[in-house]
Amino acid sequence: MNTRAYEALYIVPANLDDEAVGKNVEKYKKFIEEHGGTVEKAEKWDKRKLSYPIKGHSEGNYCLLQFSAPAKVPAELSRLFRINDEVVRGRIYLREE
């Protein structure tokens, strides 16, 4: 199965504690692995002020996932970002190796 390298950067609400943010990162990491991908890096960045309010939030915790996966995985992951209330904003980019 052909895989490509991707990077997902998403923001979760600032009011979530570190444990909740960690569980969120693990949930998406598990999703990628269950669908034939491998996660090279999964980390939580600092809480940062957003440039403009998004869904009523002015701050958020940034999370990064770097992974390799079949082409269908990023589309499904993006859909999960949109329907999950714990994700303020999420973007997935194709990484150049």
Mind listing the domains of the chain with CATH numbers? 4-94 (3.30.70.60)
pTM higher than 0.85? yes
Which amino acid would we find at residue 76?
A: E
Inter-residue contact 28 to 77 (CB < 8 Å): yes
Q: What is the tens place of the pLDDT at every residue in 54-72?
A: 988 999 999 999 999 999 9
Location of structure tokens 């996660």: 39
**pLDDT-based confidence at residue 1 (cuts at 50, 70, 90):** low
Q: What is the tens place of the pLDDT at every residue in 2-30?
A: 899 999 999 999 999 989 999 999 999 99
Average pLDDT, the chain: 93
Give the percent of the chain with pLDDT over 70. 98
